[in-house]
Amino acid sequence: MKNKDISYHIAQINIAQAKADKDSEIMSGFISRLDEIHTLADNAPGFIWRLETEDGDDGSVSVFNDPLLLINMSVWRDIDSLRAFVYKSIHIELLQDRDAWFDKMGEIHQTLWWVPAGHIPTIQEGKDKLDQIREFGPTAEAFTFGKKFPSPT
């Protein structure tokens, strides 16, 4: 039986294959906007947490054997808050220009999942959720904006 007093938040992981090292000219347009986008996220309604190093740089978090495979993870109050940030803020400009900086990935590279309020997902948890959606498609355990599932409560 589920505890009805627990509320849930939405977690997300997104990985991207950079075309070049982050110090390269190719990546400069993306890297130059990171502080702006991080500040926007940090101050966005519904934002709770994002993966970052101690100095606030999520671009330096290396979790895969490929240094050009970048990771972004965050937790938001709800799907609507996350969707508003991703698609209805200046963040959309980065999505529109992503082909300049990132190669197309041959497999699913992002997923959403529900976490109990107060839970900060680990990198391994995010990798596991990517594996789940790749193997089983969208389910209540790992899903997408296009095929979302309601909170467990």
Complete DSSP assignment for 82-112 = HHHHHHHSTHHHHHHTGGGTEEPPSS--EEE
Residues of the chain by 3-state class (helix, strand, coil), percent to 5? 30, 25, 45
Task: Name the token pair of 31.
Answer: 């890297």
Please give the pLDDT value at position 112.
98
Q: What backbone phi and psi angles, to 5 degrees, belong to 142?
A: -160, 125
Task: Name the token pair of 91.
Answer: 């963040």
Domain assignment of residue 151, yes or no? no
Q: What digits encode the pLDDT tens for the residues 93-114?
A: 888 889 899 999 999 999 999 9
Does residue 19 come out as left (phi exceeding 0), alpha (psi in the -120 to 50 range) or beta?
A: alpha
For the cut 90, the answer to whether the pLDDT of residue 54 exceeds it is no
Q: Where residue 35 sits, what CATH number does that domain have?
A: 3.30.70.100
Domain assignment of residue 37, yes or no? yes
Q: Alpha-carbon distance 4 to 152, whole Å?
A: 9
Domain assignment of residue 118, yes or no? yes
- Look at residues 102, 114, 40 and name the one whose alpha carbon lies nearest to residue 71: 102
Domain assignment of residue 1, yes or no? no
Domain assignment of residue 119, yes or no? yes
Domain assignment of residue 127, yes or no? yes
Q: What digits encode the pLDDT tens for the residues 125-140?
A: 999 999 999 999 999 9
Whole-structure pTM value:
0.88
Please give the pLDDT value at position 52.
85
Domain span holding position 72? 8-136
Question: What's the total number of domains in the chain?
Answer: 1
Domain assignment of residue 125, yes or no? yes
Domain assignment of residue 142, yes or no? no
Q: What digits encode the pLDDT tens for the residues 9-48?
A: 999 999 999 999 989 999 999 999 999 999 999 999 999 9
